[in-house]
Amino acid sequence: MTLALAVHPDVQAALDAGRAVVALESTIITHGMPFPQNVDVARAVEATVRAAGAVPATIAILNGQLHIGLTDAQLMDLAQATDVAKVSRADFAAVLARGGYGATTVAATMIAAHLAGIHVFATGGIGGVHRGAEDSFDISADLQELAQTPVTVVCAGAKAILDLPKTFEVLETLGVPVFALGQDTLPAFWSRDGGLPAPLRADTPADVAKAAQTQRALGLQAGHLVCNPIPEDAEIPRAVILPMVDQALAEADDRAITGKAVTPFLLQRIYELTDGASLDANIALIKHNAHVAAQIALAMSQTPAQADP
Ligand code: PSU
Ligand code: MN
């Protein structure tokens, strides 16, 4: 059997013509932000991609069908839906097979983008090695996906809900190229400087496109992770956000929250603890990432790779 993808006509037209397309995830909509801000943000991010000259493809499972690009009505429907599964590599097929709604994480969005022939994907933050992973073994499937699926993921770094040094050690072990954009240190989501040296630095979207295409020419199947610092005017100082992250982590521990529920719980609590201020920063950085991802996709479309795997 082959899987029938529901590809939005605008996305299909762009792919057929070799024009720039940027994949967008949907877990951020259903498990990362409250309604109606989530749909506003999803629309604004799509508009940013279009304004930069690329076509957005928000990826989600609706009624058991894998959608590559959503209509506005579908986006609205997903943003309000309850009982949406958070889908990663392990449960992707099972959710499609049983039907219903699914929101794709970074890992699942990479799988879907690659299936559809999309090379670039913009998100906010990736999953990683959770603090206390030495006991819980909680390491996001996003990291393993970056090691095996050739999609360039643009994020703002990783949130302090994670163990950042361990997250980047694992990425190195897995052979994932990690770039900081325009600086020598890794950004850490709400702050531009996470205090860790960046493994690689790229100064322009074209540099990233060239590195990704060279990696494919080498025959390596890994993705690329591009860490794009949050715009200066939207930055939240670490001293402000860290105590709230610590509180959210302590609460998760008290309530014995585990597995897939951990990340959504922490994101929701930080939103509440900052009185919604974390959301403004999220919106600014996601739009910025969408803009950069569109520029990378444009650069790739101008010098297409020789062979498409
Ligand atoms: N980190 C963020 N924001 C997010 C997520 C992670 O700062 O929205 C979401 C993404 O969809 C990511 C997923 O792929 O959570 C990771 O979940 P887990 O840690 O359960 O693998
Ligand atoms: Mn996990």
DSSP codes, 159-224: -TTB-HHHHHHHHHHTT--EEEESSSB--BTTBS--SSB-SEEESSHHHHHHHHHHHHHTT----E
Is CATH 3.40.1790.10 the classification given to domain 1-118?
yes
DSSP codes, 31-66: TSS-TTHHHHHHHHHHHHHHHTT-EEEEEEEETTEE
Question: Is position 25 annotated as part of the catalytic site?
Answer: yes
Determine the 3-state secondary structure of 155 from DSSP.
strand
30 CA to middle of ligand 2, Å? 17
Task: Write down the pLDDT at residue 108.
Answer: 98
CA distance 191 to 238: 6
> Does the beta carbon of 260 sit less than 6 angstroms from any atom of ligand 1?
yes
The residue whose CA is least distant from atom 8 of ligand 1 is 28
Task: Write down the pLDDT at residue 92.
Answer: 98
Counting ligand 1 atoms within 8 A of each CB, the residue from 88, 111, 126 with the most, and so the one to mutate, is 126
Report the share of the chain in percent with pLDDT over 70.
98
Query: What tokens appear for 172 in the block?
Result: 């190195």
State the closest ligand 1 atom to the C-alpha of 128, by its place in the atom list counted from 1. 19
- The domain locations on the chain are 1-118, 120-309
Side chain identity at 203, as an amino acid letter? Answer: D
- pLDDT by residue (tens digit) across 250-290? 999 999 999 999 999 999 999 999 998 889 999 999 999 99
Please say if the pLDDT value at position 305 is more than 80: no
Fold (CATH) for 120-309: Indigoidine synthase fold (3.40.1790)
Domain pair 1-118 / 120-309, same fold: yes
Question: Is position 159 annotated as part of the catalytic site?
Answer: yes
- pLDDT by residue (tens digit) across 111-139? 999 999 999 999 999 999 999 999 999 99
CA distance 162 to 129: 6
- pLDDT by residue (tens digit) across 38-76? 999 999 999 999 999 999 999 999 999 999 999 999 999
